[in-house]
Structure 1
Amino acid sequence: MPEGDTVFLAGHRLDEALAGRTLVRGELRHPRWATADLGGRDVLGVRSVGKHLFTRFSGGLSLHTHFRMDGAWHLYRPGDRWKRPGHQVRARLEVPDRVAVGFSLHDVELLPTDQEARLVGHLGPDLLGEDWDAGQEAEATRRLAADPDRELGVALLDQRVLAGVGNLYKAEVCFLLGASPWTPVSGVDPAEAVRLSRKLLLANAWHPEQSTTGSMARGRHHWVFERTGKPCFRCGTRVRVGGQGAGVQERPAYWCPHCQPGPIA
């Protein structure tokens, strides 16, 4: 599932391409919204909230989309060949010189703009939100610390705690905190976990490449994420992976047994 910074960047690029323009074509290829015609509406802006996107139109209407595991928004010039097949298209928003195409989008919904909170009001503070401040940091810390016995990796992925962390940043935050993903929240400083999460997301918010090590060299972008069996950059111990979470919420958890002492899978 895309990280919050990926969704943030997608929203920013859509906003740059569409905001302040009038749609010459606006269609949704979704059973529930197939008859909706957005053509002629002005695009007021595009906003990300955690891993959710809202495209706002004149007339007080918003389009909500979520990437889930395989969704994406692409931008093209009219006449360009699309990089994904047409049968994956769920939305098409076109202004005179740009075409925004949403592939394999999930949770597609048209709703009044003043009802957006119905879909995202349950989320924790958005780590990349424009309104982030000391109060937002304190609230995210409070939510993370509220269940001290919960596994740290599971808590970081809970969007009701803080919005934007995915499996990549979960793994890297745990590494930088020096705790295994199965360590209880009480075993770390929750305020530091929140600050690290925001720091890593901010570092990668304005470009598609994601590095948590500070290096863009091939194979050195991440400390432990997807580095199973490879030597830890700090101590040389081989990175391990194990399942964390239950049922559909299970995700692979990567860790260095030496640098991250504590419970394991």
Structure 2
Amino acid sequence: MPEGDNVYQAATAMHAALAGKRLAASDFRVPSFATLDLAGWTVIEVLSRGKHLLHRLAPPGSGAQQEHDDAGRLSIHSHLSMEGSWQVYAAGQRWRKPGHTARVALTAEDGTSAVGFSLGVLEVIPTAQEGSAVGHLGPDLLGPDWDAARAEANVRRQPERAVGLALLDQRNLAGIGNIYRCEVCFLGRVHPATPVGRVPDLPGIIATAKRLLEANKSRPRNTVGGFGPRNSTWVYGRAGQPCLRCRTRIEHSTLAEPTPGTGTHIGETRERDIWFCPSCQPLR
């Protein structure tokens, strides 16, 4: 399940492989951009924004070294959603995923390529208009705009909302997915259904989320600090197994809230899976 650390790793790998290189070919396999040809464009940088990815490109002959001039530049905006991924390949290397799941392939002149598979969102927009795609996001836990105080203020705006839902809302803070949501609630000894206004140490939970994502952004994810050779999470996905703290059996449930859609979606709800220890995380 891609979360902020996975997206950061993908951006880092693609930036290392493509930044400063001209594209020999682009292949968009979505109707809206099927005829778009970015051959000759130069990849300026690849970066993450929460769970979103941005490939920034300069047009042919534009002087790619002018880092802060967005005029005429384009950004490939993508979101991995639940099953998406980006992979980097050396020249001539076979893809590790089925070709029919590829949504875009970018190939540099040296043969290096980056391929996006099963992407939930894929669009090409002017770089100057990136705000339309990611401007709604709160402070990025792994980004230069991180601001713990602003993230806390965003979460506190809805004191009756379950903290487990508020932490997943990317408008509050960007990068936390369901795994980290469950793990930081456990580490903070807070049930995910606890209203935000009743959380004893909200700054501590946010700080823990920041610490975990920073620790895992350059390695395979592990939230328990190496506790046991087979344990990489405290509670996530461990229903029925003993708590690593108190040996009480971990429980699984769901949190539900209205879908923020319109039209036919009004009144619908969506459920989010949660895992927790009923002893370490009593519901307040």
Structure 1 residues 125-178: Cα deviation after superposition (integer angstroms, max 9, x where no partner): 11110232xxx1110010111111110101110001100000000000100110
Distance 1:100 1:5 in 2: 19
In the alignment, structure 1 residue 140 sits paired with structure 2 residue 154: no
Cα offset, 1:192, TM superposition: 1.4
Question: Residue 110 of structure 1: SS of its match in structure 2?
Answer: strand
Instruction: Please say if residues 138 and 151 of structure 2, whose CA atoms lie closer than 8 Å, have aligned partners that are also in contact.
Output: yes
Partner in structure 2 of residue 201 of structure 1: 213
- Specify every segment of 5 or more residues in structure 2 that has no aligned partner in the other structure, as ranges: 60-72, 258-267
Q: Does 1:86 align with 2:107?
A: no
**Match of 1:260?**
281
* Per-residue Cα deviation, 1:77-134 (whole angstroms, up to 9, x for no partner): 12212111110110101111411111011221111001001111111111110232xx
1:159-204 per-residue CA deviation (whole Å, 9 max, x = no partner) reads 0110000000000010011011111112222211211111111110
- 1:248 positional shift: 6.6
Give the alignment partner of residue 157 of structure 1, picking from 163, 168, 172. Answer: 168
* 1:73 maps onto 2:86 in alignment: yes
Which residue is 2:21 aligned to? 21
Tell me what 2:204 maps to: 192
Once the two structures are superposed, residues 46-73 of structure 1 have per-residue CA deviations (whole angstroms, 9 ceiling, x without a partner) of 0110000000000311100110011100
SS at match of 1:245: strand
Q: When the two structures are superposed, what TM-score results if normalisation uses the length of structure 2?
A: 0.88
Structure 2 residue matching 1:32: 3-state secondary structure: helix
Taking the aligned partners of 1:37 and 1:245, their CA distance within structure 2 comes to 43
> How far off is 1:76 after superposition?
1.0
Are the counterparts in 1 of residues 139 and 145 from structure 2 also a CA contact under 8 Å? Answer: no
What secondary structure sits across from 1:215 in the alignment? coil
Aligned partner of residue 24 in structure 1, secondary structure: strand
Question: RMSD across aligned C-alpha pairs, in angstroms?
Answer: 1.3
Q: Which residue of 1 aligns with 2:41?
A: 41
Partner residue in 1 for 2:56: 56
State the distance in 1 between where 2:269 and 2:125 align: 28
Cα distance in 2 for partners of 1:76, 1:248 equals 40
**Alignment TM-score, normalising by the size of structure 1:** 0.94
Q: Which residue of 1 aligns with 2:139?
A: 125
Aligned-pair CA distance for 1:243: 1.2
1:27 aligned counterpart, secondary structure = strand
Corresponding residue of 2:118:
104
Structure 1, 214-223 or 225-234: larger mean CA deviation = 214-223
Distance (Å, rounded) in 1 between the aligned partners of 2:239 and 2:21: 47
The ranges of structure 1 where at least 4 consecutive aligned residues each deviate by more than 2 angstroms after the TM superposition are 216-219, 245-249
Which runs of 5 or more residues in structure 1 are unaligned? none
